[in-house]
Amino acid sequence: MANLITVSPSPHIHSGLSVNKLMFGVIIALVPAFIVSVLLYGVGAIVVTLISVASCVLFEFLIQKFILKTEVRITDGSAMVTGVLLAFNLPSNLPWWIIIIGAMVSIGIAKMTFGGLGNNPFNPALVGRVFLLISFPAQMTTFPVPSGISTPYISQVDGFTGPTPLAMLKEGIKQGVPVADLMKDAPSHMDLFLGNMGGSMGEIAGAALLLGLIFMLIRKIITWHIPVSIILTIVLFTGLLYLINPEKNADPLFHLLTGGILLGAIFMATDYVTSPMAPAGMIIFGVGIGLLIIIIRVYGAYPEGVSFAILIMNGFVPLINRYIKPKRFGEEIKNG
Amino acid sequence: MLKTFTRGGVHPPQNKITSDCRIEDLPLPVNVAIPVAMHLGVPSKPVVDKGAEIKVGQLIAKGDGFVSANIHSPFSGKVVKIDKSIDISGYKRDAVFITVEGDNWLDTIDRSPVLKREFNHSPEELIKIMGDAGIVGMGGATFPSHVKLTVPKGKTVNTLVINGAECEPYLTSDHVLMLEKGEEILTGAAILMKALRVEKAVVGIENNKTDAIKHLQSLLTNFKGISIQPLKAKYPQGGEKQLIKAILKREVPSGGLPADVGAVVFNVGTAFAVYEAVQKNKPLIDRVVTVTGKSLKKPSNFRVRIGTPVSNILEAAGGLPEDTGKIVSGGPMMGKAVADTSVPVVKGSSGILVITQKEARRRKIEPCIRCGKCASVCPLGLEPYLLMPLAQKSIYDRLEKERVMDCMECGSCTYTCPSARPLLDFIRLGKSEVGKIIRSRKK
d(CA B173, CA B166): 8
Min distance A132 CA to chain B CA atoms (Å) = 26
B6: number of Cβ within 10 Å: 13
Is A158 a residue whose pLDDT tops 60?
no
DSSP state of B10: B
Prediction ipTM score? 0.88
Q: Which residue of B has its CA nearest to A78?
A: B369
DSSP state of A222: S
- On chain B, the residues whose CB falls within 8 A of the CB of A329 are 7, 241, 245, 251, 254, 379-381, 406
- On chain B, the residues whose CB falls within 8 A of the CB of A326 are 375-376, 378, 381-383
Domain coordinates in residue numbering, chain A: 19-141, 169-198+215-323
Chain A touched by B155 (CB under 8 Å): no
Entry pTM = 0.91
- pLDDT of amino acid B161: 97
The reply to whether CATH 3.40.630.30 applies to domain B125-280 is: no
Helix (H) or strand (E) holding B275: helix B268-280
Full strand arrangement of the beta sheet holding B71-72: B45-46, B59-62, B71-72
Chain B touched by A329 (CB under 8 Å): yes
Is B185 a residue whose pLDDT tops 70?
yes
Full strand arrangement of the beta sheet holding B200-206: B226-231, B200-206, B159-164, B263-267
Q: Which residue of B has its CA nearest to A76?
A: B366
Domain coordinates in residue numbering, chain B: 125-280, 373-442
Strand pairing class (B71-72; B77-86): unpaired
Give the 3-state DSSP-derived string for B64-130, with helices as H, strands as E and coil as C: CCCCCCCEECCCCEEEEEEEEEECCCCCEEEEEEEEECCCCECCCCCCCCCCCCCCCCCHHHHHHHH
Question: Is residue B151 a contact partner of residue B265, using CB atoms and an 8 Å limit?
Answer: no
Chain B touched by A277 (CB under 8 Å): yes
d(CA B270, CA B138): 5
Chain B touched by A336 (CB under 8 Å): yes
Question: Is residue A237 a contact partner of residue A289, using CB atoms and an 8 Å limit?
Answer: no
| Residue, of A140 and A334, whose pLDDT is higher | A140
Q: Which residue of A has its CA nearest to B170?
A: A13
Question: Which pLDDT band, with edges at 50, 70 and 90, does A163 fall under?
Answer: low
- On chain A, the residues whose CB falls within 8 A of the CB of B7 are 327, 329
Helix (H) or strand (E) holding B24: strand B23-25
Cβ within 8 Å, pair B353-A223: no
Cβ within 8 Å, pair B417-A17: yes
Span B81-112, pLDDT tens digits:
999 999 888 889 999 999 999 999 999 999 99
Return the exposure string of A74-110: e unless at least 16 CB atoms fall within 10 Å of the residue's CB, then b. bebbbbbbbbbbbbbbbbbbbeeebbbbbbbbbbbbb
Span B300-321, pLDDT tens digits:
999 999 999 999 999 999 999 9
Cα separation values, B165 from A54, B186, B416, Å: 51, 15, 21
Chain A touched by B398 (CB under 8 Å): no
d(CA A237, CA B101): 84
Min distance A254 CA to chain B CA atoms (Å) = 32
Question: Is residue B399 a contact partner of residue B384, using CB atoms and an 8 Å limit?
Answer: no
Chain B touched by A138 (CB under 8 Å): no
Min distance A97 CA to chain B CA atoms (Å) = 30
Q: Taking residues A224-251, what's their average pLDDT?
A: 92
- What is the number of residues in chain A? 336
User: Chain-wide mean pLDDT for chain B?
Assistant: 94
Reduce the DSSP state of residue B344 to 3 states and report it: strand
- On chain A, the residues whose CB falls within 8 A of the CB of B341 are 1
Chain B touched by A330 (CB under 8 Å): yes
Cβ within 8 Å, pair A8-B326: yes
Q: Between A and B, how many residue pairs show a Cβ–Cβ distance under 8 A?
A: 174
Q: Taking residues A35-42, what's their average pLDDT?
A: 87
Is A184 a residue whose pLDDT tops 60?
yes
- On chain A, the residues whose CB falls within 8 A of the CB of B326 are 5-8, 12
